[in-house]
Amino acid sequence: MGVKDVKSKQELDDFVKEGSAVMIHFWASWCEASKHMDQVFSHLSTDFPHARFLRVEAEEQPEISEAYSVSAVPFFAFVKDGKTIDTLEGAYPSELANKVSKVAGSIHAGEPAAPASLGMAAGPSVLEAIQDIAKVDNSSRAITPSPAPDALKNRLQKLTNSHPIMLFMKGTPEEPKCGFSKKAVEILKAEKVKFGTFDILSDNEVREGLKKFSNWPTYPQLYCKGELLGGSDIIIAMHEGGELKQAFSDHGVGTADVSKSNVTEPAGQKAGVTDSTGLSSALTSRLEGLINSAPVMLFMKGTPDEPRCGFSRKTFNILSDEEVRQGLKVYSNWSSYPQLYIKSELIGGSDIVLEMQKSGELEKVLVEKGIIPLEERLKKLVNSTPVLLFMKGTPDAPQCGFSSKVVNALKEEGIKFGSFDILTDEEVRQGLKTFSNWPTFPQLYYKGELIGGCDIVLELKTNGELASTLSE
């Protein structure tokens, strides 16, 4: 039947409702990897004539892309009986062939499901690799992946045990490449634990092997003493329920203030508070009462000027109470002032707070803790500069064709604009869709008001109205 280009979500829904095996390739004309994988996809369509092979231009069909959670291309979705049963992100010919075979079944009754013509598109080495990993189960006629080789198993075991707390993520703690990985890093930092990380985007053998090794199909994955704790949802739930710290303790892993020292804590005690501190129970109780006396609590030298923010916050002048001044250093394991606490959690001192404020991280924490409503944060963002573009990537390195087109249009018109990379902040990415009542990106704002997405911006430029619209 070959590959069919899908032109609307309704058309795709109609194919899916048929109940047969449907393979969907999300691609982009500007992406070379998409073009190479499309050749493989086309050859596979000839090997499995009873399955549907559909092609969707991801950026031309944003409604479909959003429905299948497509954030990068090439991306493949595998549907059967009306349900998405598997996905594949990236240019991996052998994995694509394996997944297609698994979903579509054998080519002919009684024959193996290994693709016959894939070598024409991807080369003999890929075909050989597929033949090595494909094992046919005669009863189900589906491919069962062979176990990971001993060498890979040994490597994965060493990796998962390389640190007491080990996070397999997309990107690095300094530059996470997905919102879920970023959230996991933030939680581990909030838990004040030392942890190692591995960027699974840098090693596809680890990326795919670990899925089978752990029987966990997604990332990030968090391990403690070599034992899988879970992915993003579980990490978040355990953190919010106070169970993550207990899990570390149960595994014999102490916590340490990641920004200051490697202090090991006895189970059940506060950060930095040990039997040797000499703090009385009365002072400890008083310090806890002060820290919990307001959602945002600042211990500082002197008193603040007039408040500059609308949320509830309180200060304590540590110069007025020497007992609190010295005791809090021990209690928090933080030797200087000011000290900022949000919902009883130590955020840090002056340098950290200023850095977080500059990067926008402080406001994000205030939103996450329920101090500032998300809507208020979004209002501030859209009004932060006269012309603001919410896009995928940055103006110098757009991560989608639509974003690239809007950036080029603004530059060609000589318009100065600010930008926000929605790939770096899942809260903003999802919240802005509701805030603006606009489901896709990019989104262009002028003086806090939504102008529109890519189509509207390009139409304004074509009509010679873009510059005037953004200067009224």
Task: Decide: pTM greater than 0.85.
Answer: no
Q: What is the pLDDT of residue 460?
A: 92
Contact in structure between 196 and 285 (CB atoms under 8 Å) = no
Contacts 24+ apart (CB under 8 A), 404-413: 404/30, 405/454, 405/457, 405/458, 406/442, 406/444, 406/454, 406/457, 406/458, 409/457, 409/458, 409/461, 409/466, 410/457, 410/466, 412/461, 413/461, 413/466, 413/467
Q: Please write down the HEC assignment for all residues of the chain.
A: CCEEECCCHHHHHHHHHCCCCEEEEEECCCCHHHHHHHHHHHHHHHHCCCCEEEEEECCCCHHHHHHCCCCCCCEEEEEECCEEEEEEECCCHHHHHHHHHHHHCCCCCCCCCCCCCHHHHHCHHHHHHHHHHCCEECCCCEECCCCCCHHHHHHHHHHHCCCCEEEEECECCCCECCHHHHHHHHHHHHCCCCCEEEEHHHCHHHHHHHHHHHCCCCCCEEEECCEEEECHHHHHHHHHCCHHHHHHHHCCCCCCCCCCCCCCCCCCCCCCCCCCCCCCHHHHHHHHHHHCCCCEEEEECCCCCCCCCCCCEEEEEHHHCHHHHHHHHHHHCCCCCCEEEECCEEEECHHHHHHHHHHCHHHHHHHHCCCCCHHHHHHHHHCCCCEEEEECEECCEECCHHHHHHHHHHHHCCCCCEEEEHHHCHHHHHHHHHHHCCCCCCEEEECCEEEECHHHHHHHHHCCCHHHHCCC
Q: What CATH superfamily is the domain 3-143?
A: Glutaredoxin (3.40.30.10)
Q: What is the pLDDT of residue 314?
A: 66
Contact in structure between 340 and 298 (CB atoms under 8 Å) = yes
Distance in angstroms (rounded) separating the CA atoms of residues 100 and 261: 50
Hey, where are the domains in the chain? Answer: 3-143, 150-250, 281-368, 376-469
Measured from the Cβ of residue 41, the count of other Cβ atoms closer than 10 Å reads 25
Domain 281-368, classified CATH 3.40.30.10, yes or no: yes
Beta pairing, strands 339-342 & 345-348: antiparallel
Nearest to 427 by CA among 465, 372, 347, 469: 372
Asked if 281-368 and 376-469 have one fold, the answer is yes
Assigned CATH topology for domain 150-250: Glutaredoxin (3.40.30)
pLDDT in tens, the chain (472 residues): 689 999 999 999 999 998 889 999 998 877 777 888 888 888 888 878 888 999 999 878 888 988 888 877 889 999 998 899 989 888 788 788 888 888 886 444 344 444 434 433 344 433 443 333 333 222 222 222 333 457 788 889 889 988 899 999 988 888 888 778 888 999 999 988 889 999 888 887 888 888 888 877 778 899 998 888 888 878 888 888 888 888 888 777 765 433 332 222 233 333 333 333 456 777 877 888 888 887 788 887 776 654 333 343 568 888 888 888 888 888 877 777 888 888 878 887 776 777 777 777 777 777 777 666 778 888 888 898 999 999 988 898 888 888 889 999 999 999 999 999 888 888 888 888 888 888 888 999 999 999 999 989 999 999 999 999 998 6
Q: What is the pLDDT of residue 255?
A: 55
Domain formed by 376-469, architecture: 3-Layer(aba) Sandwich (3.40)
Distance in angstroms (rounded) separating the CA atoms of residues 261 and 183: 23
Query: Residue 109, CB half-sphere, CA atoms under 13 Å: how many?
Result: 0
Q: What is the pLDDT of residue 313?
A: 55
Q: What is the pLDDT of residue 372?
A: 67
Nearest to 70 by CA among 130, 1, 12: 12
Residues 6 or more apart whose CB falls under 8 angstroms from that of 99 comprise 76, 78, 86, 88
Q: What is the pLDDT of residue 391?
A: 93
What is the dihedral sign for C-alpha 229, 67, 364, 416? positive
